Chains A and B, each alone.
Chain A
Amino acid sequence: MTTPLIESPFSLDDFMAAEQQKDLLRFSTAGSVDDGKSTLIGRLLYDTRSVYEDQVRSIEGKGTTAPGQLDFALLTDGLRAEREQGITIDVAYRYFSTSRRKFIIADTPGHEQYTRNMATGSSTADATIVLIDARKGVLPQSRRHAYIASLLGVRHLLVAVNKMDLVDYSRERFLAIQSDFTTLLDQIAADTGNPVQPHFLPVSALLGDNVVHRSASMPWYTGPSLIELLESLPASRHDAAAPLRFAVQRVLRPDASFRGFAGQVASGSIRPGDSITALPSGRTARVARIATFDGDLDRAHAPLSVTLVLDREIDISRGDLLVSTSSPATITTDLEASLVWMDAHDLVPGRRYLLKHASHIVPATVTALDHRVLLEEDAHHQTLDHIPAATLSLNQIGVASLRLLRPIAVDRYRDHRLTGSFILIDPATNSTVAAGIVRSAQPIPASLAAHLATSHSGPVSPRERFLRWGHRGAILSLTGPTSIADRVERALFHDGRVTLRLNASQESSGSLAAHAASAGLLVLLHAETDSDSLTVAVANHSLTVAEEDSLTRRLETLLADAGLLHQPGLNEYEI
């Protein structure tokens, strides 16, 4: 077991130097169920000698293949259910390296039910291998996956026409599929706005043709093998000239003399002396130090994790985005985004979700669904048609408008992958329900952004305020006669609520109301009308009360429905 295979004398320095020269490529697999994705990855690992003998022994004589033929899919299908059903259910991450580079593989499932797991695998990929069964050609799921890969900004698609052994290694078959797929990719690029570079190759994953070794059965194919392609694609490089994006993850202040902002450079680079702007507050400072455990740096570029010390005290906290002053991100509360829906419960427009973007979470609602992208054909539509939709269901993709409760600083996804992406979380189930890709953002004026940003931070957190008052702050719009408004205020007071009554017709009552609500008060913003009843509206909930109605119970329900009686988490903002 310990007989060295390497030449002696082994020089660790030479070896390490060679290792440090290797770059990194992340790729994923895609394609319809049973097209041979896992088999291909298993074959790739086996033929590059990246699997250990005990791992090979553990799959001998098992699986779906003919006697004597290893079922390579078993090397990656690591769950019992996967081995029992002969399909992949969730992403498997595998690692291997060649003399040129290191690879991180995400082998994803083809089954339609698990499309969201395919999206998980593609979101971090530089390249995706789309497999197509040579006998079946381009299937709906091949289209869906190609679309998702393009949407998620994967730049290189390696289209592997697989199972060539089952079509007599037919060149015509290969060319026909290549032509079908090329047409599809043009349509996809037109829709997503992200052109991808396709590379076609005929393979047999099972027998190893054109995976690592060139195929003797397909002399008509003179292009590179899969491994040659993978070794020659441009690696995960980061664009040093891109504008700085740095999401503050944590403020480090071990003692009074040090205050640093910990985060990862998401794009661009930074040096001491550079001017940065904190968004959404818009405050500006210069970088004094780039601090790390290994000493200060004179430059940090993506994707390094560092700690920035600034030349002056400005109010910055977790969730803020530090950007280059000359090329800031867009501050917005209104986004247009592509959504990949990932939950068994359909999207509910108007419902409140939590949007996680960079290092912070804001409540958001989908205000309108522009269209759904049709990924399957039917009698009336073609693939990629835009059809009107009232909702999105599991694995559907559409374009939506979102309204955020507080401004965030974003970029378009096609410009910045990390500051242009977000996820939506269902606050009731805590499930990740959607992946979001920013297509455009409506900018809001910096002055307003600064106000909105500061009204929610400060020395006292929403949680502390909640613990003091027993409820969250909010603006309750009261519309109706003064006599009923008085009763509402009385009833709330009686219940121990902290209220502030303002007259809606008074100038500046709006911004005062916003301040008071962010301080944790229930603001009763009253617009007097001459009717018999009064409506109390807060967030998306409302209540109508007439003169004689009893109030206490109904107000309590209203506050609960609006989420005002729910204690904020440690890092949760006002919801």
Chain B
Amino acid sequence: MNAVSTLPETAPKLSHLRQLEAESIHILREVASEFERPVMLYSIGKDSAVMLRLAQKAFYPAPIPFPLLHIDTGFKFREMLDFRDRMARQVGAELLVWRNEPAIAAGTNPIALDTKRCCGLLKTQALLDGLRHYNFDAAFGGARRDEEKSRAKERIYSFRDSAGQWDPKNQRPELWNLYNARIHPGESIRVFPLSNWTEMDVWQYIHLENIPVVDLYFARERPMYVRGDALLPTEQSFMALPGEKPQMVRCRLRSLGCSPCTGAIRSDAATIPDIIAELISFRSSERANRVIDHDQEGSMELKKREGYF
């Protein structure tokens, strides 16, 4: 009767990654079955790549039963957009793209405005508008709890009010694997199937599963504006200081965002095994190269409260 006193026959050991995979697939299936209009936020990065593969697995042999939505700020690397279109075609998923056209037309950029207001318009506002436009009631995001300490606080089903806002002090209890999908009209849930994955898990899974990722993750000779330790991509001409010339640097991106706000790192990691080896030696978190998270203590939490992913 009590399970502690007898030693049961244990199942063959399942690796950590297979356990995470099983949990994520369970989440994907729950959401697809309990919501009327789910969507997967596809940001083209490594986490999205894993999430997309998990979605293929969750519904196989049926197609992925929800569309992908990319919030395009207009500042994504060109390689990312090509990759995005190719992947959507390859997995046979419907791809939607949403841009805050008025803000883009008005010349919004992180130099003209500050990064906070730029993100607010091109990411958060665009996301909220896009979700509302299509009437999505659940949106998958590839965020992981190990990325940042306010993310570490988030539920797998993260409830958002009708303005898309997160109330971190009043989250629904989330016990076992029982998720509460009930919402009133206008409210929505952000769902994080990769909540319990770490950056290392993601790369190991990409390696084991042979998942394609954007070439920007691999070390190549690339033109960069070099400012001290920082390497700034040259995609946007407004990034150059007066008279500044790009230099060729062997580098790669550790996480993908908008080109003006995503610094590259010097690296020789040209393959996934190289990246994993490099990861073991890192002393800084993956977001240290992003401009937005640390322009203010708690800035991620503030953005999330306003509706950011």
Measuring CB to CB, which residues of chain A are less than 8 angstroms from any residue of chain B?
Answer: 1-6, 10, 12, 15-16, 19-20, 22-24, 52-55, 58, 75-81, 83, 89-95, 102, 104, 116-117, 119-120, 123-124, 155, 193-195, 197, 236-242, 249-250, 252-254, 258, 260, 262-264, 269, 291-294, 301-305, 307, 318, 342, 354, 356-357, 359, 414-415, 417-418, 421-423, 425, 427, 430-432, 435, 569-571
Contacts and interface: CB of A to CB of B under 8 A. Distances in A.
Contacts of B276: 12, 15-16
Contact of A432 (B58, B148, B172, B229): B172
A140 B301 CA distance: 33
Given A20-B16, A253-B62, 7 more contacts: A1-B284, A6-B281, A23-B13, A119-B173, A240-B10, A293-B57, A307-B60
13 contacts: A2-B281, A16-B204, A23-B13, A52-B282, A52-B284, A78-B152, A80-B298, A93-B152, A93-B195, A104-B196, A237-B10, A304-B14, A305-B26
Contacts of B25: 264, 305
B32 A430 contact: no
Contacts of B237: none
A6 B150 CA distance: 31
Contacts of A253: 62
A252 B62 contact: yes
Nearest to A344: B170
B183 to A, nearest CB: 6
B297 A58 contact: yes
4 nearest CB pairs, A to B = A78-B149, A240-B11, A12-B273, A305-B25
B175 A53 contact: no
Interface of B: 1-4, 8-19, 21-23, 25-26, 29-30, 32-34, 36, 56-63, 145-146, 148-153, 168-169, 171-178, 180, 182-184, 195-196, 198, 204, 207-208, 229, 265-268, 273, 276-278, 280-285, 288, 294, 297-298, 301
Nearest to B280: A6
Contacts of A294: 57
A305 B268 contact: no
A116 B32 CA distance: 28
B59 A262 contact: yes
A54 B284 CA distance: 6
Contacts of B284: 1, 52-54
A79 B146 contact: no
Contact of A301 (B11, B59, B182, B229): B11
A359 B175 contact: no
B169 to A, nearest CB: 6
A571 B34 contact: yes
Nearest to A55: B285
A430 B173 CA distance: 12
B277 to A, nearest CB: 5
Contact of B23 (A20, A303, A318): A303
Contact of B15 (A20, A104, A120, A292): A20
A151 to B, nearest CB: 12
A242 B7 CA distance: 12
A92 B146 CA distance: 10
B182 A90 contact: no
A254 B61 contact: yes
B217 to A, nearest CB: 14
Contact of A195 (B4, B151, B198): B4
Contacts of B153: 78-79, 90-93
A239 B8 contact: yes
Contacts of B175: 119-120, 123-124, 421, 423, 432, 435
Contacts of B146: 94-95
A76 B11 contact: no
B38 to A, nearest CB: 11
A236 B19 CA distance: 10
Contact of A95 (B173, B196, B285): B196
Nearest to A193: B2
B165 to A, nearest CB: 15
Contact of B173 (A252, A303, A432): A432
B30 A249 contact: yes
Contact of B2 (A116, A123, A194, A304): A194
Contacts of A90: 153, 168-169, 171
Given A239-B9, A252-B61, A52 B182 contact: no
Contacts of B178: 356-357, 421-423
Contacts of A95: 145-146, 196, 198
A104 B57 CA distance: 24
B40 to A, nearest CB: 16
Contact of A303 (B13, B14, B33): B14
Given A58-B294, A120-B173, A79 B14 contact: no
Contact of A269 (B2, B11, B63): B11
A258 B61 contact: yes
Contact of B21 (A260, A305, A357): A305
Contact of B11 (A2, A155, A302, A415): A302
B278 to A, nearest CB: 6
A342 B26 contact: no
Contact of B22 (A92, A102, A250, A303): A303
Contact of A155 (B4, B59, B182, B183): B4
A465 to B, nearest CB: 18
Given A5-B281, A23-B13, A90-B153, A52 B288 contact: yes
Contacts of A260: 61
A44 to B, nearest CB: 15
B192 to A, nearest CB: 11
Contacts of A77: 149
A262 B22 contact: no
A430 B157 CA distance: 13
Nearest to A570: B36
B58 A305 contact: yes
A293 B54 CA distance: 10
A570 B207 CA distance: 39
Nearest to A358: B178
Nearest to B276: A12
B277 A12 contact: yes
